[in-house]
């Protein structure tokens, strides 16, 4: 049995912890919740299709299978419902878009996810002169609820401490990691932006992508699909919706901006003629990479310091598969695929 210190209780850290605990390992998660993480504001949607090219996402079949198994098991373990299947209705911008969808529907990889079905609730409520069609095998994870019930589980089982882990407080001593008089076999960074400030991880091409979302109340709107029209509108029920999201790769402070709010609302109003009340405006940083692949592995010349991150905007789809893979790397010496390894940078 080994003992792991996991830094960060976002999606990556939470799922890696559960995967290691399932294997009988000892785990302590540390998080002070003071950094602006993607998990704090994530809509939690998953979608196996990339709309820009109408192509299946990388490893879509494998990711979907592991995601469904993982979250269904965790719903049962935590006695809470937080994993919801819901189609995505894509509104077409032109007849060419609709024709391209029909053409791609026959493609052997992506076609199984592209339905010819028009979503009635979207067509009746949205300005969609060229129609819409649904993507199968989509949905959303209630990330705040999942993190909350997972945190409660970790606290009950003494797997959590609410503290920051600073590099100057950590000693790598031979084959052990020492932090505040506690001894561990490995330290795994799952805290998103900032991991490449640690010694041996400076080479990681981790890019902060600032995103903003709005939580809305909209009367007289009932939807049975997530709506995609360039932006997304996610129905939570009880007249509550989430609208997003912006993407900003420039260095910016983590705070809501008027321009982002106006952009999101104006794009929604081009499609939806209903009164909208903004109830909250949230922001966070997505940890992304240029090659759009997650990061799994260890620091240069330090196998005691690991990292799991770079999940970007597809964290719900990616995190279950790669947390399981990384736990096998840690406990069974399984190889790390070069596409996601820290060694690729």
Write the pLDDT tens digit of every residue in 107-156: 999 999 999 999 999 999 999 999 999 999 999 999 999 999 999 999 99
Same domain for 201 and 214, yes or no, is no
Which region holds residue 33: left if phi is over 0, alpha if psi is between -120 and 50, else beta?
left
Could you tell me if residue 68 is inside a domain? no
- Is the domain of 191 the same as that of 296? yes
Same-domain check for residues 240 and 299: no
Strand pairing report for 26-30 and 160-161: parallel
Do residues 221 and 270 both lie within one domain?
A: yes
Quote the crossing angle between the two packed helices 11-22 and 315-332, to the nearest 10°.
40
**Residue 277: domain span:** 209-284
- Is the pLDDT assigned to residue 36 strictly greater than 90? no
- Residue where one domain finishes, among candidates 240, 262, 284: 284
Residue 37 has pLDDT above 80, yes or no: no
| DSSP three-state, residue 262 | helix
Return the C-alpha torsion angle 167, 19, 44, 221, nearest 10.
-150
Residues 199 and 301 in one domain: yes
- Statement to judge: residues 217 and 279 lie in one domain: yes
Same domain, 229 and 197: no
Compute CA distances 309 → 138, 188, 279, 300, 332, whole Å: 22, 10, 30, 16, 20
Torsion of CA 143, 147, 148, 151, to 10 degrees: 180
- pTM for the whole structure: 0.95
| Residue of 53 and 221 predicted with greater confidence | 221
User: Residue 59 has which token pair?
Assistant: 């490893």
Pair 198, 222 in one domain = no
Domain CATH code at residue 173: 3.50.50.60
Q: Is residue 130 part of a domain?
A: no
Last residue of a domain, one of 284, 299, 333: 284
Q: Is residue 61 part of a domain?
A: no
> Do 213 and 280 fall within a single domain?
yes
Flag whether 19 is in a domain.
yes
pLDDT level of residue 1 (50, 70, 90 thresholds): low
Domain-embedded: residue 181: yes
Q: Examine the pLDDT at 29 and tell me if it is beyond 70.
A: yes
144-182 per-position pLDDT tens digit: 999 999 999 999 999 999 999 999 999 999 899 999 999
Question: In the chain, how many domains are there?
Answer: 2
User: Are 226 and 161 members of one domain?
Assistant: no
CA dihedral 45, 116, 102, 66 (to 10 degrees): 40
Q: How does the average pLDDT of the chain come out, rounded?
A: 95
Torsion angle, CA of 303/340/201/15, rounded to 10 degrees? -70
Contacts of 291 (CB under 8 A, 6+ apart): 205, 344
Q: Indicate whether 300 belongs to any domain.
A: yes
Q: Is the pLDDT of residue 57 over 90?
A: yes
Q: Is residue 87 part of a domain?
A: no
Q: Which of 259, 284, 309 is the last residue of a domain?
A: 284
Q: pLDDT at position 326, please? A: 98
Residues 339 and 277 in one domain: no
State whether 217 and 154 are in the same domain.
Answer: no
Whole-angstrom Cα distance, residue 57 to residue 241? Answer: 26
């Amino acid at each position: 049995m080994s003992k792991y210190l996991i830094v960060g209780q976002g999606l990556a850290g939470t799922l890696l912890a559960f995967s290691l605990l399932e294997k009988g390992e000892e785990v302590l998660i540390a998080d002070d919740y003071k950094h602006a993480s993607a998990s704090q504001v994530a809509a939690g949607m998953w979608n196996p299709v990339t709309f820009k090219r109408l192509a299946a996402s990388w490893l879509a079949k494998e990711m979907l299978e592991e995601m469904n198994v993982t979250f269904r098991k965790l719903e049962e373990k935590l006695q809470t419902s937080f994993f919801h299947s819901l189609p995505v209705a894509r509104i077409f911008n032109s007849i060419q878009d609709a024709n391209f969808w029909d053409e791609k529907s026959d493609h052997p990889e992506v076609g199984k996810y592209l339905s010819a079905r028009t979503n009635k609730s979207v067509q009746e409520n949205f300005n969609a002169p060229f129609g819409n069609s649904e993507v199968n095998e989509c949905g959303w994870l209630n990330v705040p609820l999942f993190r909350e019930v997972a945190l409660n589980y970790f606290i009950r089982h003494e797997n959590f401490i609410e503290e920051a882990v600073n590099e100057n407080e950590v000693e790598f001593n031979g084959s052990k990691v020492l932090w505040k008089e506690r001894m561990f076999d490995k330290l795994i960074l799952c805290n998103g932006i900032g991991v490449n400030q640690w010694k041996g991880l400076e080479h990681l091409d981790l890019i902060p992508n600032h995103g903003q979302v709005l939580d809305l109340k909209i009367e007289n709107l009932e939807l049975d699909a997530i709506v995609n029209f360039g932006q997304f509108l996610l129905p939570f029920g009880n007249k509550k919706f989430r609208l997003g999201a912006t993407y900003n790769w420039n260095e910016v402070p983590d705070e809501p901006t008027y321009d982002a709010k106006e952009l999101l609302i104006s794009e929604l109003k081009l499609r939806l003629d209903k009164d909208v009340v903004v109830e909250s405006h949230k922001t966070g940083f997505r940890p992304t990479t240029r090659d759009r692949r997650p990061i799994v592995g260890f620091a240069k010349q330090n196998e005691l310091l690991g990292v799991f991150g770079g999940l970007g905007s597809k964290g719900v789809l990616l995190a279950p598969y790669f947390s399981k893979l990384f736990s096998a790397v840690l406990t069974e010496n399984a190889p790390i695929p070069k596409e996601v390894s820290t060694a690729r940078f």
